[in-house]
Amino acid sequence: MNEQIAVLAYGVWEIKDMVRQLTGLEPVRWAPPMKKPEFGCVVGWGLKPTSSRARRLAKKSDKNYIAMEDGFIRSIIPGPNEIPVSLVVDHTGVYYDANDISDLEKLIIENASSSDFLKLRRSRDGMRLLRDNKISKYNHAPFMSPRKWGCNPRLAVAGCWS
């Protein structure tokens, strides 16, 4: 297998050191007609329209497409000038796409019946810590309670949380 990962998008190329660290592969810039290096897989930014070229290249080359996305704690102020605090690397899909399975969903399914109570407790404690400190992907937005949104905080429906 080739140890290089093709990067088409400028934004992903800007964080090539993170791509290298998270994938263990050497990023190479794919910029036809000038550069067409050898590669073992292709990376793109999730399922955004800007990643369509990367997904097409992966399919045409019969290589795997790896999706990168902002992690669940993005940055203090999201945007191109802010370095991400966390990134998700997904070899299967993207966590926000309900049409297909993702690495996160596979992990949840595989561990759903886990009897490892310490792991389950750690997960619950982590979720509570994020919730209690109001930490999210978009930390720059003002906090608005479920009631202010017109939601019953006891209902688990879109846009409402407890």
Q: Domain ranges in the chain?
A: 4-113
Q: Which DSSP string corresponds to 19-55?
A: HHHHHSSEEEE-BTTTB----SEEEEETT-GGGHHHH
85-132 pLDDT, tens digit each? 889 999 999 998 999 999 999 988 887 777 778 888 888 898 899 888
What is the chain's mean pLDDT, rounded? 84
The continuous run of DSSP H or E covering 75 comes out as: none
User: Please, which pLDDT band fits residue 162 given cuts at 50, 70 and 90?
Assistant: very low
One-letter amino acid of 90: D
For residue 152, name the pLDDT band (cuts at 50, 70, 90). Answer: low
Amino acid at 141: A
Measured between alpha carbons, how far is 34 from 26 in angstroms, rounded to an integer? 19
Q: For residue 153, is pLDDT > 50? A: yes
Q: Which long-range contacts (CB under 8 A, 24 or more apart) does 91-94 make?
A: 91/64, 91/66, 93/67, 94/46, 94/47, 94/67, 94/69
Long-range Cβ contact pairs of 93-101 (< 8 A, separation 24 or more): 93/67, 94/46, 94/47, 94/67, 94/69, 95/69, 96/46, 96/69, 97/47
Using 50, 70 and 90 to split pLDDT, how confident is the model at 66?
A: very high
Spell out the long-range contacts of 140-143 with Cβ–Cβ below 8 A and sequence spacing 24 or more.
140/76, 140/77, 140/78
Tokens representing residue 70 in the block? 């902002």
**Residue 1: per-residue pLDDT:** 47
